[in-house]
Amino acid sequence: MKHVQWIIAVAVSAFASHFALQNATPIDRALPFIALVIAVVAWTFDDVATLIAVPLLMVAEIAIADETMRLVAFGVIVAAALIPRISSLELRTSSILTIASILVLRWIPRPDHIVREIVIILIALATTWVLGRTPFAVTVAVLAALFTPAVPLRTLVLPLLVLVVATLARLFGMPRLRLALPSAIALAFALIFFAWSGIVARAFPYFLKPPRPIAERYTINAALPASRSETFVVPGDAHALIVSGANVSRLRRGAPLGVIEPGNIAVRIGDAADWGYLRRDQFFGTHNPLPRDPAGQLREYGYDAWIDGAGRIALPRGARTIRITADASLPPGASLQVEGFEIVRR
- Average pLDDT on 196-215 reads 87
- Average pLDDT on 334-340 reads 97
At 215 the pLDDT is: 82
At 91 the pLDDT is: 65
pTM above 0.85, yes or no: yes
Q: In this structure, what DSSP letter does residue 1 have? A: -
For residue 187, pLDDT beyond 70? yes
For residue 331, pLDDT beyond 70? yes
Asked whether the beta carbons of 108 and 302 are under 8 A apart, the reply is: yes
CA 3, CA 255: separation in Å to the nearest integer? 61
- Helix, strand or coil, per DSSP, at residue 28: helix
Q: How confident is the model at residue 247 (pLDDT cuts 50, 70, 90)?
A: very high
Burial class from Cβ neighbours inside 10 Å (0-12, 13-18, 19+) for residue 179 reads: middle
- Average pLDDT on 179-201 reads 95
Instruction: Give the chain's domains with CATH numbers.
Output: 2-204 (no CATH), 213-343 (2.60.120)
Asked whether the beta carbons of 77 and 56 are under 8 A apart, the reply is: yes
Q: How confident is the model at residue 92 (pLDDT cuts 50, 70, 90)?
A: confident
Chain Cα centroid distance, residue 65: 22
Asked whether the beta carbons of 267 and 248 are under 8 A apart, the reply is: no
User: Could you give phi then psi for residue 345, rounded to 5 degrees?
Assistant: -70, 130
Mention every residue, 6+ apart, whose C-beta is less than 8 A from residue 52: 81
At 276 the pLDDT is: 95
At 150 the pLDDT is: 60
Quote the mean pLDDT of the chain.
Answer: 92
Higher per-residue confidence, 213 vs 169: 169
Q: In this structure, what DSSP letter does residue 176 have? A: -
Task: Provide the residue type at 134 as one letter.
Answer: T
pLDDT tens figures, 99-138: 999 999 999 998 888 988 999 999 999 999 999 999 999 9
CA 155, CA 321: separation in Å to the nearest integer? 48
DSSP assignments along 218-282, one per residue:
EEEEEEEETT-EEEEEPPTTEEEEEEEEES-TTPPTT-EEEEEETTTEEEEBTTB-BTTTTSHHH
pLDDT tens figures, 293-308: 999 999 999 999 999 9
At 151 the pLDDT is: 58
Q: At what angle do helices 2-19 and 53-63 cross, to 10 degrees?
A: 10
Q: CA 267 → CA 241, 246, 327, distances in Å? A: 11, 14, 9
Higher per-residue confidence, 149 vs 285: 285
Helices of type H across the chain: 2-19, 26-29, 31-45, 53-63, 67-82, 91-106, 114-130, 135-147, 157-171, 180-192, 197-202, 280-283
CA 129, CA 138: separation in Å to the nearest integer? 9
